[in-house]
Structure 1
């Protein structure tokens, strides 16, 4: 009787455990770590795309003038403030001349004294020249001695030397005066061109050094965007292309511009190309210098070619490719990519054909041995 009861108990336990084990295996294979990975699938289509470049930059002034003194000194006055418009030659402020005006006055007095000395030297020279000529005539007719004639010639030479020295003194003093006047004029801070005052780095009474900027003026009619573009796909970037500019402070408003210049030097650290984007019309009100801006440049439409979603592109072991469905299993296929558009499509030059099915999104990272399950969409994924 006992063996029969043990067999019944064993069979009962097996009857209970077997379904539970089967249920566990089923759950593990369907929703556990061994479950298939949900994926969405896209079909390679041959279609034309309109490639576009997207860049980030800042608003900068093409022409900027930093105005300051040519030598160290103290600011006496400033006549403009930030936001004021100026015209060429307008006096923006002045440095303290200290003793420069007195030095100019002393130099003018020295010139007057030198000019008086010059007149005296000219008179002496005229008298010595007349005496030398008279004694030369007398010497020719034996009316004077050779010694007297030589004395008059020597006096003429001395008078000529004195006259030359007096003239050089006057010229030197006048040059010094012009230098002092130029130095005095340099104390006036003048606008070199028409523009807008955007910065005032010091106030009256402040001592500044030579070359230090006191006032910064920019030309508001010549603003541009210093834009940065990823080097991938910038082959078609060229001067003259139309551009759309969206300022950070004016979201939704697209300002028109064009590529003024593509910089010959790229940024080797960020791997970006640099370009200057100029506004077609002056923005009103003027955007602040340094404001962030988004730039979009649309390139000419390309001919039809196989195109895939950007989300499907993967990089494995340094190779770019996609997961292609082959007999329902994922297979990594390297591809050669072309240009992209802003709608998330990239043309494929080699590696795929029209009609191929590829994995666009996957819930987890895929491998060649991954089990997959095709779904319409994955929660949280962008369609």
Structure 2
């Protein structure tokens, strides 16, 4: 029985249509929006985690000084400029002494006069002592004569009165001598105070340092304690690091640090935690640590920002998962876990993290659980997925 050409053509067209539909369905299911999401997975295991904590800090000087007058006055001279290195004891600036020079001279003159009065009073004491000794000698002779009845008792009484007068004169001279000594001490103290005030008008470098700021120029009037110059010891530069309190567990002195300066992001500098401050910042919820350089760079500048990563002591036999597996779903942090061939979101509580991209799991997972590490698109509970060894871009291996 033969078939007509029209029936054959209809059969061929129908078969072609079915093939096209099947092809479209295949493409939609394999590559379209209904295609299974490709994912990579990893088993949860226990291992050694070397945690790290990072933060942002600024370069500061451990040793810095603010130099200014102890009294209000006018700046007379400034001998140094910003960036200049100075030696200990070097004269950096001078304040106008006003009348201090005249006051010092007046104190010196008054002290010289007081010393002359002291010498005069000391001579008066010597004279009074000699007069008393003479009066005592005369009294002894008169008493001997009175015992032999050569003179009357009234003559002895006169000599006794002379001795009392000599004693009183000696006590007065000694009192004047003590007062003269105290006057000399008072004038010496006032002279030293005036000299100290005169010296305070000369601003000297307390140690070898570098001038980092010049805050007043000659002719400017400054109040007591207002800085004229700011100094810093370039050998004491370190990084003031701020670490989030929630990640600061294990922060202690001696921890090794890796420092990356904003001025040279390609270079990593070695350092170590020198000090952990007891007072934390309650506003920013950060702890503060000082990180010293193993070797201070020659081009380091104060105030420069730095990114610091601290290596904490290793943790033994803890649950770890890749940091990439941690996702946020409906406001909660967790991982996508494979449960009997389906996807389910498991909220987890995380701990320390490492520079190798591993993070500690404190709660929410168990050993041998399987979690999704990477996915080619966002996941949802019960979504279709396909496990692959690695994700590839479409059109590229």
Q: TM-score, normalised by structure 1?
A: 0.80
Q: Is the 8 A contact 2:74 2:220 kept in 1?
A: yes
Paired positions, count: 347
Q: Please, which runs of 5 or more residues in structure 2 have no aligned partner?
A: 1-23, 143-154
Cα distance per residue 1:213-267 (max 9 Å; x no partner) = 1111111111111112233443343322222211101110111211212223333
- 1:240 maps to 254
Match of 1:42 in 2: 41
Alignment of 1:61-210 (within 5 A): 61-142=61-142, 145=158, 146-210=160-224
1:107-155 per-position Cα deviation (integer Å, ceiling 9, x unaligned): 1111122122222222222212111110111122226613333222222
Q: Distance in 1 between matches of 2:238 and 2:301?
A: 12
* Aligned equivalent of 2:361, options 344, 348, 358: 348
Given that residues 276 and 290 in structure 2 are in contact (C-alpha distance below 8 angstroms), is that contact kept between their aligned partners in structure 1? Answer: yes
1:322 to 327, 335, 342: 335
Name which one, 1 or 2, has greater alpha-carbon Rg: 2
Where does structure 1 lack aligned partners over 5 or more consecutive residues? 1-22
8 Å contact kept, 2:337–2:369: no
Q: 1:230 aligns with which of 219, 240, 244?
A: 244
Contact 2:74 2:96 (8 Å CA) reproduced: yes
Distance 1:147 1:50, change over 3 A: closer
| Alpha-carbon distance between aligned partners in 1 of 2:392 and 2:246, rounded to the nearest angstrom | 29
Give, in whole Å, the separation in 1 of the partners of 2:226 and 2:372: 62
CA gap 1:203/1:84 in 2 versus in 1, 3 angstroms:
same
**1:331/1:378 Cα in 2 relative to 1: closer, same or farther (>3 Å)?**
farther
Q: Residue 345 and residue 182 in structure 1: after superposition, are their counterparts in 2 closer, same or farther (change >3 A)?
A: same
Of 298-307 and 196-205, deviating more is: 298-307
| Distance in 1 separating the partners of 2:183 and 2:282 | 61
Q: How does the TM-score come out when normalised to structure 2?
A: 0.77
How far apart are residue 188 of structure 1 and its match? Answer: 1.0
CA distance in 2, matches of 1:54, 1:155: 85
- Helix, strand or coil at the partner of 2:343: strand
